[in-house]
Chains A and B, each alone.
Chain A
């Protein structure tokens, strides 16, 4: 195979060079191109959300509120949360990696509804544009949670445009979920039974169930907030006998499962990576598949644990606390099974594996601290403090973003036909790991000591830990910039990748890198179980 990568371009037709021109991208129905459109979009939003994060950390370098006004600070954390949740985390793995890989992993030519897929992307862009407009015209300061009656009756910021932006983005999410469900049910290759599916597909399937069942409730809730604010319908307004807690019930009915929308696809990625770099079948495949479904279902039963101190009845609090303990069980099963997969495996520490290992450790910490919060007594002490902030960032950033990065590195050869520079990859992974822990571990302590969240100033005794956190954030930012640079570099100068550089199992590795538009010349007929690493050769080679 060619060793001089620079001048030899891929002469074989693939999905990237099949057609050129802006129109061929903006009107594409190829799931792989749509995945790349999403990749560009969410990277853009990641930078916007990250920018707000840096401003927050800059303000928190000193106890006094000296960088921005209090109201501005409220806008900073609101916009950080809304952009990161709705325009980065929710679409990230499903819309980028899921879109690219799910059809290939099941041996199909495309998703069930390719035009709907493109519409999903346009909806994200439309919502994103409206969110940008909201930001540029002064932002919104309700917190990403839009609690009433603050959002409906007491603020003069752009609540409605933000709500509409998220409403539109929600439909992007719903349609993607719908597409995946029908695709996975109806378009699997002959012989590919449910019990032979890669766990990445199971994870996206479970995620899609949540997207389809939960997001509409968010949509109607935001619509009601808009109607209340704009037309004075008084549904959540206590002055008219309404109950602000009703908003919270409806909001969290979606927003708790939403965190599982964010993490489940990442878990799917980790399963693929751990199996490949341990050269072993995933331990307990059936339980892993059931666990993602279990997380999806149980995740819908716990939402009021965000409302323990808001005024729900003690009886309800007890019920939701108990259910919240249950939802940890399938997650724990997954962590144990990944560990068992690695036991006596032949482990190599390529960049994707470093991210996967980081995920397992950090997700475990985040998950365990979630159990702390599920305990009513502890929750009363640490709710609305930095303990909660640290908990969810351990899962979202330490877990989800790491899984996303791991997945990008693992499948980059398939997506681009090039290898990224391995040493830079490992370096960036380690910088991210160090930066992440330095940013967020101090926040557990801060929260426990009593520093409230969403305040723009704090008591002076908290300053040292805050400075450490900000230092960590700076390192983290460097860590995220590195892959941006070397991925772009690799598209021109990276080593040309063959079809299966990792000798990984999975139908996607049986196509050329990059794949042709229709993925497979003939639909494959599957006669083997998933993760058949005992049959695959050790050394990377042509397949």
Chain B
């Protein structure tokens, strides 16, 4: 099979990174960063998600580039739903 076999060490390393990032995001949440709290939290969450997608889900080792297109398309579409909805909500005056 032409499948790449990821070393156990790599998986454990990724796991350790995820644990660290979890601790970081938990600790940072105790600090009042105002508007930036959400940005930082989502940025950390995205890092974690990327680690899971690239390594645990093998996207980094894929031979089929089509899969990446599928994932990007899905995320892009979700972005469309959110962005165009905000085109309404962001420009309305809410009580």
User: In this complex, which of B66, B73, B80, B85 has the most chain A Cβ atoms within 10 angstroms of its Cβ?
Assistant: B85
Given the interface contacts A313-B92, A316-B91, does A249 sit within 8 Å of B85 by beta carbon?
Answer: yes
Residues in B with CB closer than 8 Å to A87 are none
Residues in A with CB closer than 8 Å to B87 are 313, 315-316, 319-320
Residues in A with CB closer than 8 Å to B91 are 313-316
Of the candidates B73, B80, B81, B88, the one whose C-beta lies within 8 Å of that of A245 is B88
Of the candidates B74, B81, B92, the one whose C-beta lies within 8 Å of that of A253 is B81
Q: Give the residue name and chain of the A residue nearest to B85 (CB).
A: A249
Which residues, 170 to 224 on A, are CB-close (under 8 Å) to B?
185, 213, 217
Of the candidates B74, B81, B88, the one whose C-beta lies within 8 Å of that of A312 is B88
Residues in B with CB closer than 8 Å to A249 are 85, 88
> In the bound complex, do residue B81 and residue A217 qualify as a contact, i.e. CB atoms below 8 Å apart?
yes
Residues in B with CB closer than 8 Å to A167 are none
CB of A73 within 8 A of chain B?
Answer: no
Residues in A with CB closer than 8 Å to B27 are none
Given the interface contacts A185-B66, A213-B74, does A316 sit within 8 Å of B88 by beta carbon?
Answer: yes
Residue-wise, chain B 73-90 has the 8 Å CB interface mask toward A (1 for contact) of: 110010011001101100
CB distance from A397 to the nearest CB of B (A): 29
Residues in A with CB closer than 8 Å to B73 are 213
CB distance from A450 to the nearest CB of B (A): 28
Q: Give the residue name and chain of the B residue nearest to A317 (CB).
A: B88
CB of A301 within 8 A of chain B?
Answer: yes
> In the bound complex, do residue A312 and residue B66 qualify as a contact, i.e. CB atoms below 8 Å apart?
no
Q: How far is the CA of A314 from the CA of B66 in the complex (A)?
A: 39
Q: How far is the CA of A462 from the CA of B93 in the complex (A)?
A: 40
Q: How far is the CA of A180 from the CA of B92 in the complex (A)?
A: 40
Interface range on chain B: under 10, 10 to 19, 20 to 34, or 35 or more? 10 to 19
Residues in B with CB closer than 8 Å to A313 are 87-88, 91-92
CB distance from A402 to the nearest CB of B (A): 31
User: In this complex, which of A301, A304, A316 has the most chain B Cβ atoms within 10 angstroms of its Cβ?
Assistant: A316
Q: Give the residue name and chain of the A residue nearest to B92 (CB).
A: A313
Interface range on chain A: under 10, 10 to 19, 20 to 34, or 35 or more? 10 to 19
Q: How far is the CA of A315 from the CA of B88 in the complex (A)?
A: 7
Q: How far is the CA of A245 from the CA of B91 in the complex (A)?
A: 14
Q: How far is the CA of A223 from the CA of B65 in the complex (A)?
A: 34
Residues in A with CB closer than 8 Å to B88 are 245, 249, 304, 312-313, 316
CB of A52 within 8 A of chain B?
Answer: no
> In the bound complex, do residue A304 and residue B84 qualify as a contact, i.e. CB atoms below 8 Å apart?
yes
CB distance from A357 to the nearest CB of B (A): 36
Q: Give the residue name and chain of the A residue nearest to B84 (CB).
A: A301
Which residues, 484 to 501 on A, are CB-close (under 8 Å) to B?
none
Residue-wise, chain A 299-335 has the 8 Å CB interface mask toward B (1 for contact) of: 0110110000000111110011000000000000000
Residues in B with CB closer than 8 Å to A253 are 81, 85
User: In this complex, which of A213, A246, A300, A320 has the most chain B Cβ atoms within 10 angstroms of its Cβ?
Assistant: A213
Residue-wise, chain B 55-78 has the 8 Å CB interface mask toward A (1 for contact) of: 000000000001000000110010
Q: Give the residue name and chain of the B residue nearest to A323 (CB).
A: B84
Q: Give the residue name and chain of the B residue nearest to A311 (CB).
A: B92
Residues in B with CB closer than 8 Å to A301 are 80, 84
Q: Give the residue name and chain of the B residue nearest to A310 (CB).
A: B88
> In the bound complex, do residue B92 and residue A300 qualify as a contact, i.e. CB atoms below 8 Å apart?
no
> In the bound complex, do residue B66 and residue A300 qualify as a contact, i.e. CB atoms below 8 Å apart?
no
CB distance from B17 to the nearest CB of A (A): 30
Q: How far is the CA of A461 from the CA of B87 in the complex (A)?
A: 42
Q: Give the residue name and chain of the A residue nearest to B80 (CB).
A: A300
Residues in B with CB closer than 8 Å to A314 are 91
Which residues, 259 to 284 on A, are CB-close (under 8 Å) to B?
none
Q: How far is the CA of A319 from the CA of B90 in the complex (A)?
A: 13
CB distance from A148 to the nearest CB of B (A): 16
Q: How far is the CA of A185 from the CA of B85 in the complex (A)?
A: 32
Q: How far is the CA of A323 from the CA of B77 in the complex (A)?
A: 16
Of the candidates A217, A304, A312, the one whose C-beta lies within 8 Å of that of B92 is A312
Residues in A with CB closer than 8 Å to B74 are 213
Residues in B with CB closer than 8 Å to A304 are 84, 88
Q: Give the residue name and chain of the A residue nearest to B74 (CB).
A: A213
> In the bound complex, do residue A300 and residue B77 qualify as a contact, i.e. CB atoms below 8 Å apart?
yes
CB distance from A174 to the nearest CB of B (A): 13
CB distance from A337 to the nearest CB of B (A): 26
Q: Give the residue name and chain of the B residue nearest to A319 (CB).
A: B87
Residue-wise, chain A 26-41 has the 8 Å CB interface mask toward B (1 for contact) of: 0000000000000000
Residues in B with CB closer than 8 Å to A303 are 84
CB distance from B82 to the nearest CB of A (A): 10
Which residues, 5 to 60 on B, are CB-close (under 8 Å) to A?
none
Q: Give the residue name and chain of the A residue nearest to B66 (CB).
A: A185
5 contacts between A and B (CB under 8 A): A245-B88, A301-B80, A314-B91, A316-B87, A319-B84
Extra contacts, 18 of them, besides A217-B81, A253-B81 (Cβ < 8 A), are: A213-B73, A213-B74, A213-B77, A246-B85, A249-B88, A253-B85, A300-B80, A301-B80, A304-B84, A304-B88, A312-B88, A312-B92, A313-B87, A315-B87, A316-B87, A316-B92, A319-B84, A320-B84
Chain B residues close to A by CB (< 8 Å) = 66, 73-74, 77, 80-81, 84-85, 87-88, 91-92
Chain A residues close to B by CB (< 8 Å) = 185, 213, 217, 245-246, 249, 253, 300-301, 303-304, 312-316, 319-320
- Going nearest first, the 5 A-B pairs with the smallest beta carbon separation are A316-B88, A313-B91, A315-B91, A313-B92, A312-B88
